[in-house]
Structure 1
Amino acid sequence: MDAQAKKTALRGITYGLYVIGTKVGDDVNAFTGNWVTQTSFEPPLVAIGVKKDTTSYEGIRESGVFSVNVLESGQKDLAFSFFKPVSRVGNKFGDVEFYTSTTGSPILKDALYWFECKVTDTVDRGDHALVVGEVVDAGVHREGDPLTLKETGLFYGG
């Protein structure tokens, strides 16, 4: 296999950037992810990819819930702020305000849209796990165009 062709082909997969959250007890956590896709209409299922050696993955496994916050085009800095651990104080991650709804997972006040899921399945392979969740709640803060990885100048895959 041509290694460069493989890298170029895999980087052709389109990705959004999302802030994915979870909670364990009273503690909430969030991270930037880009492996999110809908896998079923009825019931409404989505799948996310989560790096296995992280606090977030442990939180999702323990709580069985997660939220997905769809960011708006231009919110690159917001996405980047969740690439590394962010201190939580009250209802803020740093300067980013959030609230909770059905599952208790964090919903960012500045996200375009959000949805919450209860985990139904996990496929544990490689350095990431594929987590499937049933959508149990959703909301729209405003209309807009979602942020994509291409807009950030970053590449994933390969």
Structure 2
Amino acid sequence: MDPKAKKAALRGITYGLYLVGTKDESGVNAFAGNFLTQTSFEPPLVTLAVKAGTRSQQQIASSGVFSVNVLESGQKDMVTAFFRALEVDGNKLAGYEFTTEETGCPIFTDALSFFECKVVDRLEIGDHYIYVGEVIHAGVHRTGDPLTMKETGFYYGG
């Protein structure tokens, strides 16, 4: 297989770019995630791939919950702040205010919308864990166009 062709072909898959909130007994965290898709209407299920061994992956494994914050087109600076390790400062992560609701995972007030999930299945495959989450709560802060990987010029995968 031509490695350059493989990379170009796989990078043609379109992705959104989200803030995924996590938690465990040590506190809350969030990361920039893009391997996410809806997989069922009834019950409402999504699948999320999270890099194995990361703090966030370990928190999802421990707590069995996560949140997904849908960012708005133009929020590249916000998502970029979540590509590194973070510490909580009051009710802020990376300077961005969050609240918590059903799961206790961060819900960012600057996001367009959010949903919270309870893990109903998981699979360790390759260098990621795939979590199947049932959407148990959702909300909309405002309407707008979602942020995409293509808009940012970032690449993940391939």
- Smaller-chain TM-score bracket: over 0.9
If the length of structure 1 is used for normalisation, what is the TM-score? 0.97
Q: Deviations along 1:35-54, whole A, 9 cap, x unmatched?
A: 11000000000011101111
Q: Name structure 2 gaps, 5 residues minimum.
A: none
Q: Which amino acid aligns with 2:116?
A: E
1:15 aligned partner: 15
Q: Deviations along 1:83-122, whole A, 9 cap, x unmatched?
A: 0012211211131000000011100000001000000011
Question: Aligned pairs, how many?
Answer: 158
CA distance, structure 2, for counterparts of residue 138 and residue 26 of structure 1: 25
Q: Name structure 1 gaps, 5 residues minimum.
A: none
Matched, 1:83 2:83: yes
Matched, 1:30 2:22: no
CA distance, structure 2, for counterparts of residue 22 and residue 8 of structure 1: 31
Q: Which amino acid aligns with 1:150?
A: K
1:74 aligned partner: 74
CA distance, structure 1, for counterparts of residue 113 and residue 44 of structure 2: 16
Q: Deviations along 1:32-72, whole A, 9 cap, x unmatched?
A: 00011000000000011101111101100000000000000
Identity %: 63
The list of structure 1 runs, each at least 4 consecutive aligned residues, that deviate by more than 4 angstroms after superposition, is: none
Matched, 1:54 2:69: no
Where 2:116 maps in the other structure, the secondary structure is strand
Where 1:130 maps in the other structure, the secondary structure is strand
Matched, 1:122 2:122: yes
1:9 deviation in Å? 0.8
Matched, 1:145 2:117: no
Q: CA RMSD in A?
A: 0.9
Q: Which moved more, 1:20-29 or 1:131-140?
A: 20-29
Where 2:53 maps in the other structure, the secondary structure is coil
CA distance, structure 1, for counterparts of residue 155 and residue 97 of structure 2: 28
CA distance, structure 1, for counterparts of residue 134 and residue 64 of structure 2: 11
1:26 deviation in Å? 6.0
Where 1:118 maps in the other structure, the secondary structure is strand
1:140 deviation in Å? 0.3
